[in-house]
A and B are shown apart, each in its own frame.
Chain A
Amino acid sequence: MSNEFNCSHARLAIGGDPHEQSPELGAHLATCAACTKFRAETLALDARLRAAFELSLTEFRKPVEQAPPARRFALAASVVLAMILAGGFWLLKPQPALAGDVLEHVRHESASWDAHEILTPSQLADVLRKAGVQFDSSMPVLYAMACPFRGRRVPHLVVQTAEGPLTVMLLAHEKVAGRVEFAEDGYRGILLPVGEGSVAVLARGGDVADAVVAKLVSGVRW
């Protein structure tokens, strides 16, 4: 290519960024109908490209495929539970926004409540492994994702109980000083300290039974 701004330069500039127009390109386009047409075509192509890139996200985070019933894990000896019942063991300041963040997260993944197929142990184990948490669930798990939450991956589960589904978030790195109850927008929840972390249990449109919470918490090991 010569140093003079010619059609090759113009096509390269247009193809590189059709929305950008340098003085040289502008001057060239003023005298070159072919390159002006090329630019118009490329701008039209870019409009189609933008449309092509805008994929629907409905296919993302689709529910896990149907699977056979989950293995029921043996319950761990509940040192953890005893610690919870003792209460007030952790002399730490509560994190006031934690319940709000849990609610916001659960609201954002509201489709998780609609899961109705029981996950396999391997599906659950995969999520727990990603989050670095152990959880022996005595209840069927219908939904499990290792979700980003406050800078870490945490297991976001939905378990089936006799009273309906409950959301369980295993917050290995979120300490709370004691039991916190919260309710908003039809959700009722409990945050409980468990070892060096905490567990959030939420119900939608109902209460969270203490017996169920105790059962859930007894299966948690950080």
Chain B
Amino acid sequence: MNPRPRGTTVPSAFTRLLETLRPDLVRFAFWLARDRAVAEDVVQETLIRAWKSRDELKDTAAARPWLLTIVRREHARLYERKRLPTVDVDQAEAAGDLGLASDGDAGLEDLRRAIMQLPDEYREPLVMQVLGGLSTTEIAAELGLTQAAVLTRLFRARNRLRTIYGLAPAEDAE
């Protein structure tokens, strides 16, 4: 039988929490960045920042939205700091670098490509809402927008995706 590590204890609950939530963070970062490598970088920075700020997390039940917020801010910071080029979805897709591995569902693949091609201003709140589970109020606060503006962006994002799903788009008031 292997002995327990000398002088060691089990990893901290916070470390386990980060490991548990890491897949969600990677997906979230990927859909924001549309680039696998950038998503990995963003998540690594997020985990470092989260570790340093771990005392701020009073309730582990709030860990997921807390971490997703850090991901979004790190993503924005990365682009500000490094001035990363905007991802060209067509080129990236041709190079097979989108991480959109085929799962045999052509409709789903079409939808993923369509999401990729949404402008940032529409894709970001959609990712935050559908994948991140944030409310429109939370998204508005995070993006510095009014709730009405967020609703409009989400409406337009879904409206563009309706056609991919074989639905007629709704009339846009603007």
Q: Please report A residues at the B interface, Cβ cutoff 8 Å.
A: 1, 8, 11-18, 20, 38, 41-42, 44-46, 48-61, 94, 96-101, 103-104, 108, 146-148, 150-153, 180-186, 189
Contact = CB atoms under 8 A, between A and B. Distances in A.
B2 A45 contact: no
A48 B167 CA distance: 13
B111 A182 contact: no
B71 interface: no
A42 B130 CA distance: 12
Given A52-B112, A108-B19, A183-B3, 6 more contacts: A17-B129, A17-B135, A49-B115, A60-B40, A94-B7, A103-B8
B12 interface: yes
B152 A184 contact: no
Contact of A16 (B15, B136, B171): B136
- Which residue, of B2, B11, B131, has the highest number of chain A Cβ atoms within 10 A? B11
A50 B9 contact: no
A182 B174 CA distance: 65
B103 A184 contact: no
B4 interface: yes
A49 B161 contact: yes
Interface of B: 2-12, 15-16, 19, 23, 26-27, 30-31, 36, 39-40, 43-45, 47-48, 51-52, 99-101, 103, 105, 107-108, 111-112, 115, 126-127, 129-131, 135-136, 150-152, 154-156, 158-159, 161-162, 165, 167, 170-171, 173
25 contacts: A8-B171, A11-B171, A14-B155, A15-B155, A41-B162, A41-B167, A45-B161, A45-B162, A46-B130, A48-B107, A48-B108, A52-B112, A53-B127, A59-B99, A96-B8, A97-B12, A100-B11, A103-B8, A104-B11, A104-B19, A151-B51, A182-B5, A184-B2, A184-B4, A185-B2
